[in-house]
Amino acid sequence: MTRTLSMKWSLLLRKEIWEHPVLSYRLPVGFAGLLLILSLVSAVLGNEFLLSNSGEWMADIEVNGGDVDLANMGPPIAKMGSAVAAGFGFLGLLAGWSYLVSALYQERQDRSILFWLSLPVSDAETVLIKGVLGWLVIPAFYFGVGWAVGGVMTVIASVAATWVMSLSGVLLAAIAAYGANVFDLIALVVTQVLWSAPFLAWTLLASQWANRNPLYWVLGVPFAATLIENALLREAVMTDWFWSRVAGNPELGSEGAILVQASQMLLGLGIAGVLVVLTILIRRHCYDRLP
């Protein structure tokens, strides 16, 4: 048989991307293009603005109240590029979550669900493919695009600085610093992705369960649980734990965060696994919700 499981899963992933082109790739690529255009425009116009008619530098550059060492502008420029990459990573998490909200709900809203059910694709495959796309693929793609854009913006800013201020070595220093930051960035995005796993898995389950807007379930049930827990126990230990997975962990950016919080990560992943299994079971046994 020439068809392999990996080919099947890759086709199922592509099918999801075909179905959601805006969220999957058009939004980050479009946003990246816009940022690049703005970077180029600001590099050209900004330089013209900052230069006097006689061609001399007119501005004092200060960062945090102190003068910038112009000879060492590479690392600060790289930091700006890294911030763009990180921003794309978090935008990817948001886009992935947004996809998961409707992933299993939307497919039941029209009769094409009968076509998908008539294919030899199991409920587990369907749920896992959608989960992987929203949880991993979309954030990873956004981060990849962001990293590329951040890199190009770093180059544009470095070239502009080199050109206007006649500095040497800025470009190479910026690229080196940007390259060195990539591992920290990946660690940051990966830990946030792992940290949010229970919330994203709950979102997937709510998307399967909901007969109306799944957002009511995604946010409404935890909110109601928080109120009940507060009323009964006068504290909200469990729901606080849940909401921390929604907001992200502020300590995750710190050094060694993965090791420090390993037990919490594993607990979250375990709970996410249970929620995904429940989603598969609901999908298998609740077909009466078909259109």
Partner 1 sequence: MNSIVQGAANAPTPLVSVRSLSKTIKGKQILNDVNFDIQPGRVVGFLGPNGAGKTTTIKAALGFTGYQGDIRVMGLSPKRQRHQVMASVSFISDVGILPRWLRVDQAIALMAGIHPKFEAEKARALLAESQIGERALISTLSKGMVTQLHLALVLALDVELLVLDEPTLGLDLLYRESFYRQLYERFLSESRSLLISTHQIEEIEFLLSDLVIIDQGQILLNERLESISEKFQTVEVRPEAVSDARSKGPIFERANLAGAVMIFSNQENQDWSALGRERQTSLAELFVALVGGTNKPSKRNQEIRS
Which parts of this chain interact with partner 1 (CB under 8 A)?
1, 3, 7-8, 10-12, 14-15, 18-19, 110-112, 114-123, 125, 285, 287-288, 290
Tell me the closest approach of the beta carbon of residue 5 to partner 1, in angstroms: 11
Tell me the closest approach of the beta carbon of residue 286 to partner 1, in angstroms: 8
Separation of alpha carbons 169 and 218, rounded Å: 51
Of the two residues 15 and 79, which places its CB atom closer to partner 1 in the complex? 15
Taking the CB of residue 23, how many other CB atoms lie within 10 A of it? 20
From the list 209, 195, 181, 183, the residue with the least C-alpha distance to 275 is 209
Tell me the closest approach of the beta carbon of residue 105 to partner 1, in angstroms: 15
Q: What is the bridge-based pairing of β-strands 66-67 and 62-63? A: antiparallel
Of the two residues 110 and 240, which places its CB atom closer to partner 1 in the complex? 110
Of the two residues 223 and 287, which places its CB atom closer to partner 1 in the complex? 287
Of the two residues 16 and 74, which places its CB atom closer to partner 1 in the complex? 16
Tell me the closest approach of the beta carbon of residue 130 to partner 1, in angstroms: 15
The tokens for 265 are 């990560």
Cβ pair 58, 171 in contact under 8 A = no
The tokens for 61 are 């550059």
Cα of 1 vs its chain's centroid, Å: 37
